[in-house]
Structure 1
Amino acid sequence: MGNIGLPGILILAILVLLLFGRNRFSNMMGDVAKGLKSFKKGMADEDDSKPQPPKQIPGDNQTIDAEVTRDRDQASN
């Protein structure tokens, strides 16, 4: 009973066309295709949104030496 062959699929397709009409059925299939296309695009965008390591600027390997100094007024508090 669970094995549907080619004749069963053809009968089912004819019934769907009769129930929904040719125009409405093609509109539904167009909507399904748009949904699949947007799903694939979303999956591709998700792959692109992975964090990338920061790019190094040439000559940006310099260090800055800084020394913290306190005023005498702050040091006494």
Structure 2
Amino acid sequence: MLNNIGLPGLLLIAVVVLVLFGRGKVSSLMGEVGKGITAFKKGVKDGAEEYDRAAEDAKKPIGQSPAEDATRAQAQTNEAMRDVTPHGTDRS
């Protein structure tokens, strides 16, 4: 049934929709459709990035556990604090 709808049929449908709903309603509806498509594309992109991050985390060697990462981060923080802590200052 839908195979026989050509360009003239689509134009007729567009004119009927425009007459029934008005130009303002149709334009706001199309704006909402555009926002929906943009949100969908952003969601797909974010999902793909999350998947890639999870794949990279899965590729890490088994020896690198989160506890080891936390210990390494704490050591780096302590080293950085030693670099900025004043030594030999008299606070009297």
| TM-score bracket for the superposition, by shorter chain length | 0.5 to 0.7
User: TM-score by structure 1 length?
Assistant: 0.65
1:8 matched to which residue of 2?
9
Matching residue's letter, 1:21: G
Distance 1:49 1:10 in 2: 42
Q: Which has the higher contact order (CA 8 A, sep 6+)?
A: 1
Matching residue's letter, 2:26: F
Distance 1:6 1:48 in 2: 40
2:48 matched to which residue of 1?
47
Distance 2:6 2:44 in 1: 34
Alignment of 1:1-77 (within 5 A): 1-2=1-2, 3-50=4-51, 51=54, 52-53=56-57, 54=60
Matching residue's letter, 1:38: A
Q: How far 1:7 moved relative to its partner?
A: 1.2
Aligned residues: 58
User: Unpaired segments of 5 or more residues in structure 1?
Assistant: 61-77
Matching residue's letter, 1:30: G
% same residue: 47
Q: How far 1:5 moved relative to its partner?
A: 1.3
Q: Higher helix share goes to which structure?
A: 2
Structure index of larger Rg: 1
User: Unpaired segments of 5 or more residues in structure 2?
Assistant: 73-92
The one-character-per-residue Cα deviations of 1:10-69 (angstroms, maximum 9, x if unpaired) are 111000000110011000000000000000000000011121325x79xx8xxxxxxxxx
1:70 matched to which residue of 2?
none
SS in 2 for 1:49: helix
